[in-house]
A and B are shown apart, each in its own frame.
Chain A
Amino acid sequence: MRYSKWLAYLILIVLLCCVPLVMTNSYFLYMAIIIGIYIIVAAGLNVIVGYAGQMSFCHAAFFGIGAYTTAILSTRLGLNFWLNLPLSMIAAGLLAFIIGYPSLRLRGPYFAIATVGCGEVVRSVLHNWVDLTQGSMGISNIPPPNPIVIGNLFTLTFDTRQNYYYLVLFFMLLTLFIISRIIKSKAGRAYEAIRIDDVFARSIGINVHGYKMQAFLISALFGGLAGALYSHCILFISPVSFTTAESTNMVLMVIMGGKGTLIGPIVGAFLLMILPEALRFLADYRMALYGLLLMLVMIFMPNGLVGVAGSLRALYRKKSVTSEKGVSHGHN
């Protein structure tokens, strides 16, 4: 049982590694990279939204801070990508601390509203602190990540789409691995207890504010990581990529896929990146239909696509159990 699970993971990873070999179309590969980055974002956001149950609408701010940190450090100071990556995460983490410390004391919709405000403030700063961020002009000429060089033996560059895909794939798998481990621990159980009943959680000795902070921080760290990867992928960033609408989109990925599950954000990120592209043939009606689809999913699938799959499976099991019973009754 255990081996077959690992084997399934291994096959999946091998298949994912084969994607660039099959997909020679540069645009599709670019899409695959962007989807990978958004899976990191959505998986991180799922920790606070899905597991800890706190609706956060400022994730584009963490994504943006991560993107801007590495963009500024690499274009202005020429710092190494591999140094900027942790620095981007730390910057996003610091921002999460500043936003979360007061606002996570609020509950439910009040917290959500506070995060919308904080996200707008960050976007506004990116827009108006022209000396640092070049405002709406954005930052261009971001270099690709520094190659990994081991003596004369081995050099790995990231200036091709193909290699960048592997870079993102690596970080995506690492993110999912880390989050799955956290969820299966004391911290994961604490998030779940807080989401379902925070008064109960407090009564059994869970530090509610502390664990909400931890979940928010973890979310932000992965948001920052994804932002940095985004920056070095598209090589040009401007504040329009980090609006509240973008934050909402990230939350939608988590909810549509299935919040509080490991696969949910993956499905959601995939779908919400593909859908607008797939609906492109509808031209002007595209966004209207997109909106309609979202509403239908929200109404009829509150637990997301993974939730629907889960209940279908439960239904199937129930049916097979009752039919088995029927057979045994027949024998009697």
Chain B
Amino acid sequence: MAIIEISHLTKRFGGLVAVKDLVFSVSSGEIIGLIGPNGAGKTTVFNLLTGVYAPTEGRINFDGVDITGWKPQDVVKLGLVRSFQQTRVLPDISVLQNMITGYHCRIKSGVWRAILRSSLKEREEKEAREQALEILDFLQLGDFHDEIAKNIPQSAQRRLAIGIAMATKPKMLLLDEPTVGMNPSETQEMIDLIAAIREKRGMTVLLIEHDMKVVMGICKRIVVLNYGEKIAEGTPAEIRSNPDVITAYLGSEESA
């Protein structure tokens, strides 16, 4: 069953076509890779899916609901959340507070309940705290929960950023180059973590990645973008031998 269906998605910025007539879908529980050379429009696709940009044309269907043109906060609430290429955490507060901030969209009690300190608010805060600690353990960040976020190691901050996204209780995670700048052992840890997120947490993952080893190793299926258009889709083996992909990455023989 497809969790997300993207049909004929197009985004124009003035004269520039960033994404052109993109069609693909992701099955529930799948890890899918989105690759392409720099400027291929991968990040624009993320911004379209999460409601940061409204598409010029086309529709996005997530979990049986047409979310085209939805606001970012509504998309997150429905269960589609992204992480960023740069590590984005709140640097000056504790790791646990970062995680609880991630629970924002799952906490119902607003300002009035906060002023009156209603039992619902207290219960929700307690639940958020417990679940946050549980996710931190899952990410092997349990020992860091009291530390200020900027003081923990870089690779731990990367996991925390994913943890904050997981705190929103998503059905699907969009990860933007989660292994960029990592050494081989850190990269392997991240690959294992993404696999565990799918297996133990049942989340679908859409991965933007430059490191071919990562994509080939973890994704069953890959979508390749070039100049905003899908030029190939298939298994890692198919992609590796696809002449269009090779041309896109290495340039054609004539131009070389």
Closest residue of A by beta carbon distance from B93: A192
Per-residue CB proximity of A188-225 to B under 8 Å, as 1/0?
11101100110110111111001000100010000000
Known contacts A185-B121, A187-B114, A196-B92; decide if A205 and B72 are in contact (CB<8 Å).
Answer: yes
- A200 & B114 in contact (Cβ 8 Å cutoff): no
On B, residues with C-beta under 8 Å from A are 50, 52, 71-73, 75-77, 81-84, 88-93, 97, 100-102, 104-105, 107, 109-111, 113-115, 117, 121, 125, 164-165, 167-168
For A207, give its contact among B71, B88, B111 (CB under 8 Å): B71
A186: interface (CB < 8 Å): yes
> B74: nearest residue on chain A (CB-CB)?
A205
Give CA–CA (A254, B218) in the complex, Å: 51
Q: Could you name 10 residue pairs across A and B whose Cβ atoms are closer than 8 Å? A: A182-B111, A185-B109, A185-B111, A186-B109, A202-B52, A203-B84, A203-B165, A205-B77, A207-B71, A207-B73
- Closest-by-CB residue of B relative to A218 is B111
Residues of B near A190 (CB, < 8 A) are 101, 104
**Quick one: which of B72, B90, B117, B125 contacts A197, CB cutoff 8 A?**
B90
A181 at the interface (CB under 8 A from B): yes
Q: Which of B71, B88, B91, B109 contacts A203 (CB 8 A)?
A: B88
- Besides the known contacts A178-B115, A185-B113, A204-B164, 17 further A-B residue pairs in the complex with CB atoms under 8 A apart: A185-B109, A185-B121, A186-B107, A190-B101, A193-B104, A196-B90, A196-B91, A199-B84, A200-B89, A200-B90, A202-B73, A204-B81, A204-B105, A205-B77, A205-B168, A206-B105, A210-B73
CB distance from B77 to the nearest CB of A (A): 6
Chain B residues within 8 Å of A184, by CB? 114
Contact A204 B101 (CB under 8 A): yes
Q: How large is the interface on A (under 10, 10 to 19, 20 to 34, 35 or more residues)?
A: 20 to 34
Greatest chain B CB density within 10 A among A182, A185, A196 is at A185
- Given A181-B114, A181-B117, A204-B102: A193 in contact with B109 (beta carbons within 8 A): no
In the docked arrangement, what's the CA distance between A200 and B50, Å?
A: 12
Min distance, Cβ A285 to any Cβ of chain B, angstroms: 40
| The residue from B72, B89, B90, B111 contacting A202, defined by CB atoms under 8 A apart | B72
- For B52, give the chain A residue with the smallest CB separation: A202
- Contact partner, B111, options A189, A204, A214, Cβ 8 Å: A214
